Amino acid sequence: MNLKNFFKELTESESAAVSMTEKQISIMSAAIEIFAEKGYSATTTSEIAKRAGVGEGTIFHHYKTKKDLLLAIPDYLSKSPGQKGLMDELLRIFERPYERFEDFLRDIAYNRRDFVAKNIPLIKVLIQEIALQPELREKASVTVLFPAMEKFSRAIERFQARGQIIDIPSVSVSKLIFTSLFGYFFTLYIAAFAFSGDREQDLEYLIGYILHGLGIADTSVNHDPETGGAVL
């Protein structure tokens, strides 16, 4: 988990973005789309070629194997012109000096909501295949997840220092927020459960719920793992 490497890669990636030919981009886009629809394994290179509007052989000029195509997706997160800054925005939020934790949280929530909503296929593929392909999990963890979590924890600590949120390990707080948001977006956008209800309203409930859950306010409810009591 080396931040320097991460940024070097990001930078390199952006310059690399320039070198992505139009054909490469259409191959990548087609691949992500179809991977998301049917899964990596059930996707045919010939179908990718067809949807990308190129010959089958062309794919193999740019990506030595079908697997390379999959492993190139994390790079695409930062490379592609249209996608540039997909993660950057979030990282910038993490660094921005917010007055109130609530504003910070709300920006994150809506930023990720927009990100997810606009990149369902990409995210779907990543989550699906991260659970199946160790190489991809490794790559995604090192280049995206861990660096982001680290920055996130730093931000959390600033709010803790100012006494705005509960004082448990910042990493645990990061995980609570991360998994809450993740669970919300996943069930809604990826698993696509047909939950009824107003999504906008539900997201606000979620924000309030997180704020509350991490708030300092009430300490009457707490629990000790040893005794079975509440801990917060």
Smallest gap from Cβ 23 to DNA, in A, equals 4
* Interactions with DNA, residue window 32-71 (CB under 7 A): 42-46, 54-62, 64-67
Nearer to a second copy, 15 or 198 (CB): 198
* Interactions with DNA, residue window 70-99 (CB under 7 A): none
Q: Does 23 bind DNA (CB under 7 A)?
A: yes
Within a 10 A sphere around the Cβ of 108, how many other Cβ atoms?
Answer: 20
Smallest gap from Cβ 153 to a second copy, in A, equals 12
Residue 81 binding target from DNA, a second copy, none, CB below 5 to 8 Å by type: none
Nearest to residue 72, comparing CAs of 42, 48, 46?
48
Smallest gap from Cβ 27 to a second copy, in A, equals 21
Smallest gap from Cβ 158 to DNA, in A, equals 47
Interface contacts to a second copy, rule CB under 8 A? 37-42, 102, 106, 124, 127-128, 130-132, 137, 141, 145, 168-169, 171-172, 175-176, 178-184, 186-187, 190-197, 200-202, 204-215, 217-218, 220-223, 225, 228, 230-232
* Interactions with DNA, residue window 185-224 (CB under 7 A): none
Point out which residues bind DNA (CB under 7 A): 21, 23, 42-46, 54-62, 64-67
